[in-house]
Structure 1
């Protein structure tokens, strides 16, 4: 599952079953890309299901609109101008079943998720960012409805070993710096470390298009081992997935085609651990991972599609770090300041980005009267691939800065204004000093 220093303590959150006394679930900017079971379960309760029953129905809707204020891309081609305003929406609905409660098959869960995504043709293009300034925007087709996940989880050895088999989103389980932050007290749990809207928080730039995730989940097997002998402070995770989605221009849309493991495979492993510091038990963690992509990756020029090059196999490494820096009300709730950083590197000549660093700060619940609000800042730098004809399409580096405020309006409805500035723009066709704005609504149910 989505592993961290205290994965055993967080397993109810990862499955979507809130622990008693836990705070309301505060969403990330892209719940389908970063959370195992987004939603509150209110959908099931509206249909008459008991809150503590075996079957749970939940989901999330997210919609945003963006405006390009200066710089960025003005045209995709001489006859196709880029619209200054565009947007995207995401709808995810999940049904999950606790087989222990249903038929006495303890420590076993099933879930199914449906996903719908719609974006305007120029969404995510106008800013000129190669990393992605709007995380709801994904690879074409721009409008898709898919069976996003169907999987079974089984816990063994008194919860020390967790296995998940099925079609799943690997980006919620590996290389995910936005995982829940928890201590041994449910009052201090938060569902995500940041609500930054740019893509690098939800898909590490050096893994973009490689690791199965939003919107191209894939059939696979994942395993997490967290031994009691080490007081569950350390974990080892590994996964093997259908790798057809990571082959560049030869990729399959694994979110839309029948699942298979007959083609090239994508493999990933991660090891990490965590700690709590001080009397207020401020949590932190550190993790390292490595990945390997099988098969032949093909890269073709967008300007001249007949020009291509290929690479057989690819690999890379990454690291994750986070630490709660201060707690505003340590004896009462999860408010405080969290810092995080992720970094990736790959020598693959077919990668769009060969190195990246993403970092940020989040203030959760800065006002005592509004514990579910948050504000944050972040930056993401990437070194782009300028091999051969790609030098005509990409600049050597991209630097993106973003700030946001997430405001709890009522119940599980959140409003999020966001500003994005790129002093170094990745797309060669984009003007420098790109400045754009985003406004987003998120509804959990």
Structure 2
């Protein structure tokens, strides 16, 4: 671990020097990464690893992946008894097989993903944020190797009905503000709306710990229908999954434990549609969702096994909205400014957050010579549940987090991202307000 972080620090210092002296223009690629690809993107990486192993680019078997590493530094405020400098790394590998090309079973794919995550002890705690300032951090164990996904997908009715069965990260399908912005003009399409590093982009605060995803994927079934209405942009998705990881006693890590559907279940459904606006055909979309958590949640005072309360079942609702606001070079590429908004609410007394609102803006390709760079800002507010007297002593009633980033394409598949996070209101009562921290991240697709 120490060797990994030492190497990462050396690489990042070198990259900073490259950025400041100037980087050569990078040709446009199909999909610059989000800040946490494992939580928000299908088919991670470029497939270059498979080609290095001798696989044809258009063959049935694809092997690819992504490595992400970051280091954080707490500049002021936060939890004073935590280390000021921390780090996290994520390695995601995927092998997928197109069964149509392989054996003639059209519109069918299978895949398997392996995930490795390593984090220092204070990586997810030092800022004092309950929502999460660094989305790569994970709940204990901090060092984990897991079979993240193994699933089969079958499309019916010319792709208008999709069924996925297996162990999967459901945050890619549900409550995902980073889903692709679709339009009928290919050059206007945006694959990822933002690369903000804070967790609310990848796990909505009111679904934090409930929705199976990074790092606790879960066994289940997902069905998505796209009927031939509203120019094919309307959709409805529903799923049911192993819900043991959503219980607040955190006794089951579904990412590490054997898959099962014998315990409580987590159910979710989402419906929405997209559109294009104006002569420039600027895309936008919305989604509305509802979820239900089965089983009994147990919430205890920190460090106690007796001072606890329980709740049977939980539920909540959420909404998503995004819109392209302007285009820098409408006749050339997908550069421009996009805005997004997500909101969630849950009446559950065992839910960590009772309500949340996350919003932001992204400028994609602001320079014509660097179409894959982006700059973004975001804000996330959450109402923290303090249902019992002992919880009032541990948490503040609200948390407000602001973040800004720049993602710089250093090469075809290499991205550098400096990020600054400010918390005028922290959730952890042991932390100081006006928490300010910095993050440097390196992402390599292969």
TM tier, smaller: over 0.9
Secondary structure of the residue aligned to 2:206 is helix
Q: Following TM superposition, where does structure 1 have runs of at least 4 consecutive aligned residues deviating by more than 4 angstroms? A: none
* Partner of residue 292, structure 1: 292
* Partner of residue 307, structure 1: 307
Q: How many residues align?
A: 419
Shift of 1:230: 4.2
Q: Matches of 1:423 and 1:92 in 2, distance apart? A: 34
Matches within 5 A, 1:322-401: 322-388=322-388, 389-401=390-402
Secondary structure of the residue aligned to 2:92 is strand
Matches within 5 A, 1:247-286: 247-286=247-286
* Partner of residue 67, structure 2: 61
Q: Matches of 1:229 and 1:412 in 2, distance apart? A: 37
User: Quick one: structure 1 residues 235 and 117, their matched pair in 2 at CA, closer, same or farther if it must change by over 3 Å?
Assistant: same
Residue 165 in structure 1 maps to residue 165 in structure 2: yes
Q: CA RMSD in A?
A: 1.2
Q: Matches of 1:426 and 1:280 in 2, distance apart? A: 42
Contact 2:61 2:98 in 1 (8 A): yes
* Partner of residue 437, structure 1: 438
Contact 1:320 1:341 in 2 (8 A): yes
Q: Matches of 2:44 and 2:163 in 1, distance apart? A: 20
Contact 1:23 1:187 in 2 (8 A): no
Matches within 5 A, 1:13-412: 23-75=29-81, 82-388=82-388, 389-412=390-413
* Partner of residue 427, structure 2: 426
User: Quick one: structure 1 residues 441 and 250, their matched pair in 2 at CA, closer, same or farther if it must change by over 3 Å?
Assistant: closer
Shift of 1:356: 0.1
Contact 2:182 2:274 in 1 (8 A): no
Contact 1:23 1:190 in 2 (8 A): no
Secondary structure of the residue aligned to 2:232 is coil
Structure 2 gap segments, 5+ residues each: 1-26
Contact 1:22 1:187 in 2 (8 A): no
Shift of 1:72: 0.3
Contact 1:250 1:297 in 2 (8 A): no
Secondary structure of the residue aligned to 2:46 is coil
- Segment drifting more, 228-237 vs 402-411: 228-237
Contact 1:26 1:190 in 2 (8 A): no
Secondary structure of the residue aligned to 2:314 is strand
Shift of 1:330: 1.1
TM-score w.r.t. structure 1 length? 0.93
Contact 2:249 2:299 in 1 (8 A): yes
